[in-house]
Chain A
């Protein structure tokens, strides 16, 4: 089709065509070469999303330009079970030599908090952040809640119905933290399967408020059916400059859908540094940047280890607090 398929691996067929049945094993390594060179084989990117899920697509977009930056092939390993638990377990079962990297989301941190038998937060070493998609509080256009001040007043009088993903999810934590920071009456979560369902039910009038990424409701915002009220980030967003941040009204709450790469503790420092440089370079490339831009995510999504680790730590604290108060942490 177009160019070289970046997905197919250019493995040397050591065993020849006659032993094609063993082809899976034709990866280099039969000789157990004890090279000091890194990377020396295919790097596995472990994700909890199924093929075609948002996180899976992020991984595959990164992989388009990563082989050039790091000089090796990449492959995605999808371990979907247990909201990240299977992905974490798989990574823990691999040697900590930098050839296995995890693409994680906040979901993994929540799963870790609730399941102590998995690798814990302290076992993670950040490598680079890939995407950051701020969450926005939205209501139906024409609703009396569309004005930020009216929204705050109404929230203090009665518990509003929020659309979000399932109980105990990242959305739930974000809604809880937002309502708590604003001193609101306890909100009711109406759980849905995904952003599309939430938008439909917001327009259909079944819920009062929705917590969404800007891209999820873009068509409805453009059509004037949905109105963003607050942005849950530190600064206003470039593509909706008229929408205030929650902090401007004194509600100290931020929330974003964030994805980034980590390795497990024990991976040699020089390899982490090499991975960091390579991944940041790959994701600064044209393919990944145009993916970020067109999916409505910030261009400064890509960040190095320091910023990413600080963010992970912040979210870990926020989650622990929310889960404890909700009674989901034992």
Chain B
């Protein structure tokens, strides 16, 4: 308790507060810009943090990480170009809301849901990190395989015209994930001698192409139409009733995000997609999904920000990074001479609590900034399309080029833009493809690793209770609705609603 108070007390240091403020503002900006994510920013600024004290450096990096995950939602909502990959699920409903002239509503909800998710995960980090971290050891390849199957099974439910089309795009995503060098045999697949393909298809350019570029192409076909008058509702913030409606989504997203974030192999992007799916599954307003459901913003946003605290769990408690960003934060910790691990909680509690305190502060800070600026940001959707959409395209180019400085990624983005445009015209949803691409690699690798571990005997899965449980849940999720319907048909009087 003493350590906790001492950690909190570091917030009174003006230098630390300044670092948190700078980190939060920077985080929002880079999060909103496609092409430069929180992890890139922290990596580029890492050498600068050597000169300052460990607490100040960590407060700075932690604030960037927290705020960037929120910042990504701004561009996702306004122009359908997720500024950070983790905001891709937010774009699905958020952009529909902005199109209807309710950008302020979506932005306000994103800020609140993000902050609640973020704070929830930090609180969880404070109380349960060492305990939760043990769970990572129980997750080997068989468990990750089951988890990937679970995630992909949910694609059937995401937007678009129907289950078959969704599963098709998901399968296409999984197929794309097989491009490049196979981990277990070293054989190059579908690279056709093109070097850029031998490391596989990066999902960031695919994401930007499918969402932002295809949106621009779609807009270009509608130039002749009477321009839609976006009402000044754009700047209206959510009301208490809106929050009440989304409370369940936020709660669900926070728990899912914190858990998925804590698993080392999965990050905020998966957390947000799973959060979106589960929000939809448990929503009382399912019909709104795909047409601008506010819950569809709240769920994934709380999930991806909860994943931030979640991914700090294995990073701090095991010294094993829980995401790309924490991998760099880990490097930063080590450079500062802080050795993460279970002992950190006994040996340097003040430092830990100071980090937690600064993450809490960053979450509160972007909540205030986000709500305060939402009205201003929302006006971006009032910029004339002749200026806005060319700008979105240019930002998409740099967004695809930035992370790996690769022209190949720009080409992939353009191709994905064309494919996304065709998808739109024929009622396919892009989200399952992203899901397939993100989880497909893990599905195949985990399956092959499991088989090597089980000496090629598939019955090995029978000895893994967690994997079995997850597979059973998947089956129940797929067959459950069908069984329920059959039950209802058998006794129609009682179940009529």
B-binding residues in A (CB < 8 A):
1-3, 5-7, 50-52, 54, 56-57, 60-61, 63-64, 77-83, 85-86, 89, 161, 166-168, 188, 190-193, 196-197, 199-201, 203-204, 206-207, 215, 218-220, 222-223, 287, 290-291, 294-296, 328
B183 touches A191 (CB 8 A): yes
Min CB–CB distance A99 → chain B (angstroms): 18
Q: Which residues of A contact B39 (CB under 8 A)?
A: 51-52
CB neighbours (8 Å) of A191 from chain B are 183-184, 445, 449
The stretch of B156-164, B352-360, B404-412, B486-494 that contacts the partner chain = B404-412
Q: Which residues of B contact A60 (CB under 8 A)?
A: 43-44, 46-47
Contacts A81-B408, A200-B137 aside, 17 further interface pairs with beta carbons under 8 A come to A1-B52, A7-B45, A60-B44, A78-B405, A81-B404, A86-B196, A191-B449, A193-B265, A200-B264, A200-B318, A206-B140, A222-B339, A222-B341, A287-B47, A294-B336, A294-B337, A295-B335
The docked-state distance in angstroms from the alpha carbon of A77 to that of B449 is: 34
Is there an interface contact between B198 and A294, defined as CB atoms closer than 8 Å? no
Whether B342 contacts A57 by the Cβ 8 Å rule is no
B341 touches A220 (CB 8 A): yes
Picked from B136, B314, B403, B453, the residue with its CB within 8 Å of the CB of A51 is B403
Known: A7-B48, A85-B195, A191-B184. A204 touches B449 (CB 8 A): no
A80 touches B404 (CB 8 A): yes
B131: interface (CB < 8 Å): no
Chain B residues with CB under 8 Å of chain A are 22, 39-40, 42-52, 136-141, 181-186, 195-196, 198-199, 264-265, 314, 318-321, 324, 327-328, 331, 334-337, 339-343, 403-406, 408, 445, 449, 452-453
The 7 sampled A-B contact pairs (Cβ below 8 Å) are A3-B51, A52-B43, A77-B405, A81-B199, A167-B186, A220-B341, A287-B50
Q: Inside 8 A of B182's CB, which chain A residues have their CB?
A: 167
Given known contacts A7-B44, A81-B196, A199-B320, A290 and B264 CB-to-CB distance under 8 angstroms: no
User: For B195, what are the chain A residues with a Cβ–Cβ distance below 8 Å?
Assistant: 81-82, 85-86, 89
Closest residue of A by beta carbon distance from B60: A1
Distance in Å from the Cβ of B146 to the closest Cβ of chain A? 14
User: A161: which of B42, B45, B184, B452 is its contact (CB, 8 Å)?
Assistant: B452
A3-B51, A52-B328, A290-B50 known; A80+B199 contact, CB < 8 A: yes
List, in ascending order, chain A residues with CB within 8 A of B318's CB. Answer: 199-200, 219-220
Contacting pair A167 B47 (CB below 8 A): no
> For A3, A85, A166, which residue has the most chain B Cβ atoms within 10 angstroms?
A166
| A192-B449 CB under 8 A given contacts A215-B334, A290-B335 | yes
A297, chain B: closest CB distance, angstroms: 10
Would you give the shortest CB distance from A89 to chain B, in whole angstroms? Answer: 8
Contact B137 A294, beta carbon cutoff 8 Å? no
**Complex Cα–Cα for A128 and B123 (A):** 47
- From the candidates B46, B186, B264, B341, name the one contacting A166 in the complex (CB within 8 A): B186
Q: Which residue of B lies closest to A198 (CB)?
A: B320
| In contact, B335 and A200 (Cβ under 8 angstroms) | no
With a CB–CB cut-off of 8 A, which chain B residues contact A201? 140-141
Give the interface centre of A57, A196, A215, A218 by most chain B CB atoms within 10 Å.
A196
What is the chain B residue whose CB lies nearest that of A223? B342
Nearest B residue to A118 by beta-carbon distance?
A: B195
Known: A7-B48, A61-B47, A222-B343. A294 touches B186 (CB 8 A): no
* Least CB separation from A56: chain B residue: B43
Assuming the A-B contacts A81-B195, A85-B195, A85-B198, are A204 and B343 also in contact, with contact meaning beta carbons closer than 8 angstroms in the complex?
A: no
Contact in complex: A200, B139 (CB < 8 Å): yes
Cα distance, A215 to B333, chains bound together (Å): 12
The distance in angstroms between the C-alpha atoms of A1 and B64, with both chains bound, is 14
Contact of B331 among A57, A77, A220 (CB under 8 A): A57
* A44–B244 alpha-carbon span in the complex (Å): 55
Alpha-carbon distance A5/B185, docked complex (angstroms): 44
Q: Which residues of A contact B140 (CB under 8 A)?
A: 200-201, 204, 206
Residues of A within 8 A of B327 (CB): 52
Contact of B199 with A64 in the complex, beta carbons under 8 Å: no
Collect the chain B residues with CB atoms within 8 Å of residue A188's CB.
452
Do B43 and A1 have beta carbons less than 8 Å apart?
Answer: no
Chain A residues contacting B452 (CB-CB under 8 Å) are 161, 188, 190
- How far apart are the CA atoms of A197 and B198 in the complex, in Å? 22
From B40, B320, B449, contact of A196 by CB (8 A): B320
Instruction: Provide the bound-state CA to CA distance between A179 and B198, in Å.
Output: 29
In the bound complex, CA of A219 to CA of B49 (Å): 23
Given A200-B136, A220-B318, residue A79 in contact with residue B405 (CB < 8 A): yes
Nearest B residue to A205 via CB reads B140
With A80-B199, A82-B195: A200-B48 Cβ-Cβ less than 8 Å: no
B25 to chain A, nearest CB (A): 12
User: Contact: A219 with B199, CB < 8 Å?
Assistant: no
A257 CB to nearest B CB, Å: 15
Q: How many angstroms from the CA of A88 to the CA of B42 in the assembled complex?
A: 27
Residues of B within 8 A of A199 (CB): 318, 320
Q: Which residue of B lies closest to A6 (CB)?
A: B47
Which of chain A's residues have a CB closer than 8 A to the CB of B141? 201, 206
Q: How far is the CA of A57 from the CA of B332 in the complex (A)?
A: 10
For the complex, give the distance between the alpha carbons of A166 and B182 in Å. 8
Question: In the docked arrangement, what's the CA distance between A201 and B341, Å?
Answer: 17
Could you say which of A81, A200, A294 contacts B320, with CB atoms under 8 Å apart?
A: A200
Residues in B with CB closer than 8 Å to A294 are 334-337
